Amino acid sequence: MKSRDRLQKMRALTQMIRDHDMARLQRLTAAQNLTREKLAQLPVRAQMNIDPALFSVQQAHLHWSAQQMMHLNLLLARQRAALIEQRAKTARSFGRADAVARLLDHKT
C-alpha cells in the first residue's frame, strides 16, 4: 500500500473521529445548558403569607426546591468536568486531523 493511500485512509479516519468528538461536545454542552435552565427556574424565595396552611405548603416547596438545587448543582459540576475532558479530547482530534491533512498536502 502506498503511503499516499495510507494517509488518505488515515485522514478519513481522523476526520470521522473529529466529527464524533465534536458531536459529543455539542451534546454535553446542550445537556449542561438544559441543567442551567432547570436551575434558573427553581424558586429561591417564597413570599410571606399569613395563612398557616399556605405557609406550610410554601415551606415544603422551598425545601423540595433546595433539594433539587443541590442535585442540579452536583449534576452541573459533573457535566462541567465531562465537558472540560471532552474539549481536550476534541482539541486533540482536531490537531490529529489537521496534522494528517498537512502531511497529505505536503505529499502532493
- pLDDT at position 4, please? 84
pLDDT tens, the chain, 108 aa long: 688 889 899 999 999 999 999 999 999 999 999 999 999 998 877 677 778 888 888 888 889 999 999 999 999 999 999 999 999 999 999 999 999 999 888 876
Amino acid 1: pLDDT: 61
DSSP, res 50: S
Output the pTM of the full model.
0.80
Residue type for 19, please?
D
Q: Measured at the alpha carbon of residue 30, what is the angle toward residues 44 and 74, in degrees to the nearest 5?
A: 45
